[in-house]
């Protein structure tokens, strides 16, 4: 198996450990056991727990940025629409569980002081895009924050993974961000 594929499998195993047991469960031995490799095999790819968490954070940031880019149509307000579309779509996609597991990485990073800065930098970029990206920057930021709240709740409440509900929430958030809000339940 190519090195990159094995590395991704190990990161997947770390996400599984995090999802089941939280940051306190993330040990090198637990990840090795989950992946079905020896601890030495894990250490070949990640010299210590900090490197493992760094790998998790880098993959989360890269995947998130790729998702936003995929949904960005380049029109005014497109970044916030992409942010919301990516969030809502990923909650209802076939691989939603995998996508939601990526966010358990934030918990791991919060327990590793040297990883808090890369996560903070990513969120700074995601929450404060370049000036002029949105017609109503304050509304757009509120909509992005609400989309993040949807992510958080979908980890615990399956109803938020419903495609129809997500479509309505997504449309309402975009309308709000773009100043076209129509109060609707």
Cα angle vertex 94, ends 53, 163, to 5°? Answer: 115
Dist CA 84 CA 71 (whole Å): 9
Q: Is residue 111 predicted with pLDDT exceeding 90?
A: no
Average pLDDT, the chain: 85
Dist CA 115 CA 106 (whole Å): 9
Dist CA 83 CA 69 (whole Å): 9
* Phi and psi, residue 36, nearest 5°: 75, 35
pLDDT of residue 3: 66
Model's pTM, two decimal places? Answer: 0.79
- Domain map of the chain by residue range? 50-177
Range from 39-43, 158-162, 173-177 carrying the lowest mean pLDDT: 158-162
* Mean pLDDT value across residues 102-118: 75
Domain 50-177 has CATH 1.10.357: yes
Nearest to 13 by CA among 41, 38, 36: 36
């Amino acid at each position: 198996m190519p090195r990159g594929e094995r590395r991704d499998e190990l990161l997947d195993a770390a996400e599984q450990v995090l999802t089941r047991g939280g940051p306190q469960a993330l040990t090198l031995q637990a990840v090795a056991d989950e992946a079905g490799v020896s601890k030495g095999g894990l250490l070949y790819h990640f010299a210590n727990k900090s490197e493992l968490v760094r790998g998790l954070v880098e993959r989360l940031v890269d995947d998130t940025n790729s998702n936003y880019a995929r949904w960005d149509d380049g029109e005014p307000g497109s970044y916030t629409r992409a942010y919301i579309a990516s969030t809502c779509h990923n909650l209802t996609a076939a691989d939603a569980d995998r996508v939601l597991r990526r966010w358990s990485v934030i918990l791991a990073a919060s327990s590793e002081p040297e990883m808090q800065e890369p996560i903070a930098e990513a969120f700074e970029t995601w929450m404060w895009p370049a000036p002029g990206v949105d017609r109503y920057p304050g509304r757009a930021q509120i909509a992005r924050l609400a989309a993040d709240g949807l992510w958080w709740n979908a980890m615990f409440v399956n109803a938020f993974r419903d495609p129809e509900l997500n479509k309505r929430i997504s449309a309402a958030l975009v309308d709000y961000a773009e100043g076209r809000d129509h109060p609707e339940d």
